[in-house]
Amino acid sequence: HSDFIVPLQVLTVPTAPYPDQRPGTSGLRKKVYVFQSRRNYLHNFIQSIFSSIDLRDRQGSTVVVGGDGRFFNTTAIEVIVQMAAANGVGRLIIGHHGIMSTPAISCVIRKYKAIGGIILTASHNPGGPEGDFGIKFNTANGGPAKEAVTNKIFQISRTIEEFAICPGLHVDLTTLGKQTFDLENKFKPFTVEIVDSVESYANLLRNIFDFAALKEFLSGENHIKIRLDSMHGVLGPYVKRIVCEELGCPVNSAINCVPMEDFGGQHPDPNLTYAADLVDSMRDGQYDFGAAFDGDGDRNMILGKHGFFVSPPDSVAVIADNIFCIPYFQHTGVRGFARSMPTSSALDRVAKATKIELYETPTGWKFFGNLMDAGRLSLCGEESFGTGGDHIREKDGLWAVLAWLSILATRRKSVEDILKDHWLKYGRNYFTRYDYENVDIDAACEMMEDLEIMISDKSFVKQRFAVEDKIYQVEKADNFEYTDPVDSTITRNQGLRIIFSDGSRIIYRLSGTGSDGATVRIYIDSYEKEQIFEDTQVMLAPLATIALKISQLHHRTGRSGPSVIT
Percent of the chain as helix, strand, coil, to the nearest 5: 35, 25, 40
- Measuring CA to CA, which residue among 365, 363, 351, 429 is closest to residue 395? 365
Q: Which residues contact 320 (CB under 8 A, 6 or more apart)?
A: 337, 347, 350, 351, 354, 356, 379
Nearest partner of 123 among 563, 511, 561, 565, judged by Cα: 511
Contacts of 467 (CB under 8 A, 6+ apart): 541, 542, 543, 545, 546
Q: Are 525 and 562 in contact (CB under 8 A)?
A: no
The torsion angles phi and psi of 508, rounded to 5 degrees, stand at -120, 130
For residues 343 and 312, give the distance between their C-alpha atoms in angstroms, rounded to a whole number. 8
Q: What is the length of the chain?
A: 566
- Compute the distance between CA of residue 189 and CA of residue 182 in angstroms, rounded to an integer: 5
123 is catalytic: yes
3-class DSSP assignment, residue 487: coil
- Find the DSSP H helices in 96-170: 102-111, 147-159
Catalytic residue among 48, 51, 52, 123: 123
Please tell me whether residue 393 adopts helix, strand or coil conformation: coil
CA within 13 Å, CB half, 497? 22
Q: Are 122 and 134 in contact (CB under 8 A)?
A: yes
Nearest to 64 by CA among 121, 123, 106: 106
Exposure of 413 in the CB half-sphere (CA atoms within 13 A)? 11
Q: 488: buried, middle or exposed (CB in 10 Å: 19+, 13-18, 0-12)?
A: exposed
> What value, to the nearest 5°, has the Cα angle with vertex 25 and ends 543 and 260?
95
φ/ψ of residue 407, rounded to 5 = -70, -45
Q: Angle at CA 343, nearest 5°, toward 337 and 347?
A: 35
Q: Cα dist. 514→41, 340, 372, 436 in Å?
A: 18, 19, 28, 12
Q: Is residue 236 within 8 Å of residue 259, measured between CB atoms?
A: yes
The Cα 144–Cα 310 span in angstroms is 27
Asked whether 330 and 395 are in contact (CB, 8 A), the reply is no
* CA dist., res. 103 & res. 142, Å (int): 9
Q: Which residues are catalytic, by number? A: 123
